[in-house]
Amino acid sequence: MKSFRRLVYPYMVWAALLIVAPMLIIVLYAFTVGGNDVVPFRVSLENFVRFFSDSIFIGVLWRSIKLAIVTTIVCILIGYPAAYFIAKLEGNSQAVMVLLITAPQLINMLVRTYAWRGILLNTSFPAEVKVYIGMIYNFLPFMILQIYTSLAKMDKSLITAANDLGCDNRKAFMKVTLPLSVPGIISGVTLVFLPAVSSFFIPKLLGGGSFLLVGNLIENYFVTTGDWNFGAAVSLIMTVIILISMYFTRKLDYDKEAR
């Protein structure tokens, strides 16, 4: 086993260079501001105070969280029936349906979003609705596949046992199928909410610049205004929010498994 541990070293180096080092740089920029000719920067909480004291930035943060929550809920409402329908199919029909769902994912998300931009260009939909359409379209397959995986692995004899004990189809679903599919729902929520809350090119392309989210805010301060310190502070705030979200979803998953 010790010899196989050496195979981890390349990944550790890769993680240090491409994950740890960039995060340390973001932290450095977030907690510093411009200094003088002697000391080029000084440690300060000014960037965070600036963000939380401005109602515009708080509004952008809330809009991003709201967008991610609504997108996740809609993906569950659409994705669960779709996954349930696929899991009920027999033989190769399941494989065909899964292929139809995953096939669009072979095309780059940016290209697919540009396609939706062309479709929605001449419609009278508000910018917010267009962004929601793009979000749901791009992230719905992740929800469907996670829920389908949980349903496909479920022991079908449990449904038969529930029916033998007097449960009709509705009660069997509520008592057996739905609880057993919760891990898939939680995994789907993780795969939808986290990228949705930090997405920037979907709102930019479909919102026409009038629907600003935190991802767009970070991009603007890094690329347009060149204020890397404030952009890094906003990035760090979003990182903390994402880590908290991951903690609660993972804790919910562990609590479910413990039962």
**pLDDT tens digits, 73-102:** 999 999 999 999 999 888 788 889 999 998
- The reported pTM is 0.85
- DSSP 8-state symbol, 165: T
For residue 255, pLDDT over 60 is answered with no
Position 49 scores a pLDDT of 93
Confidence tier at 3 by pLDDT (50, 70, 90): low
Confidence tier at 104 by pLDDT (50, 70, 90): confident
Most confident residue range from 54-63, 166-175, 241-250:
54-63
Confidence tier at 258 by pLDDT (50, 70, 90): low
For residue 257, pLDDT over 60 is answered with no
Structure tokens at 6: 């050496």
Pairwise CA distance, residues 168 & 162, whole Å = 8
pLDDT top residue among 245 and 141: 141
Position 4 scores a pLDDT of 66
67 near 131, Cβ under 8 Å? yes
Q: Please, what are the domains in the chain?
A: 62-213+241-258 (1.10.3720.10)
Span 202-226, average pLDDT: 86
3-state DSSP helix/strand/coil % of the chain, to nearest 5 = 80, 0, 15
Confidence tier at 36 by pLDDT (50, 70, 90): low
Residues paired with 34 in a beta bridge: 41
28 HSE (CA, 13 A, CB side): 8
Q: Provide the mean pLDDT of the chain.
A: 86
Per residue in 15-26, pLDDT (tens digit) is 788 888 888 989
Report how far apart, in Å, the C-alpha atoms of 223 and of each of 122, 142, 242 are.
Answer: 29, 30, 23
Q: List CB contacts of 19: < 8 A, sequence separation 6 or more.
A: none
Position 9 scores a pLDDT of 77
Per residue in 156-182, pLDDT (tens digit) is 888 878 887 777 888 888 888 888 888
pLDDT top residue among 193 and 259: 193
Span 138-150, average pLDDT: 93
